[in-house]
Amino acid sequence: MTITGLALSGVDAGNYVLTQPTTTANITAKALTVSGVTANSKEYDGFATATFNTSFASLVGKVGSEVVTLNSGSAAGAFTDKNVGTGKTVTVSGLTISGTDAGNYTLTQPTTTANITQGIDRLRHYRRE
């Protein structure tokens, strides 16, 4: 990084030559978040796996017209546990970003909520003949 605009002043300034300094700095990647991901409620099945909808998902925090695209093809979801409950947290993983400017960003995986409802007993009754 080049620094400009520094100047000497004072009665003896004419006796000196000022060289503009250079220095280094780091530019860190900007964090992006995802909005618009919704989890689907499900009936209890003994597993914590979750399904969700990314049709309305969008990136939040992108700078100007930079080219960064959200990819959801490898996304997966999981409830915090397999038990029945309402408003349960669903963690999403596997979302990625691509595009010309993707290297300037990091992606924070979203969370959302959904319900696990009680299952209906589906015993079949067989008639003896």
Residues 21-59 have pLDDT tens digits of 999 999 999 999 999 999 999 999 999 999 999 999 999
> What confidence score (pLDDT) does residue 129 get?
54
The pLDDT of residue 87 is above 60: yes
Q: Is 56 left (phi over 0), alpha (psi -120 to 50) or beta?
A: alpha
Q: The whole model's pTM is what?
A: 0.76
d(C-alpha 52, C-alpha 11), whole Å: 72
The CA distances from residue 2 to 16, 25, 79, 94, 116, in Å, are 20, 11, 51, 40, 58
DSSP run (H or E) holding 52: strand 52-53
Average pLDDT, the chain: 93
SS3 116: strand
Q: What tokens were used for 96?
A: 């990625």
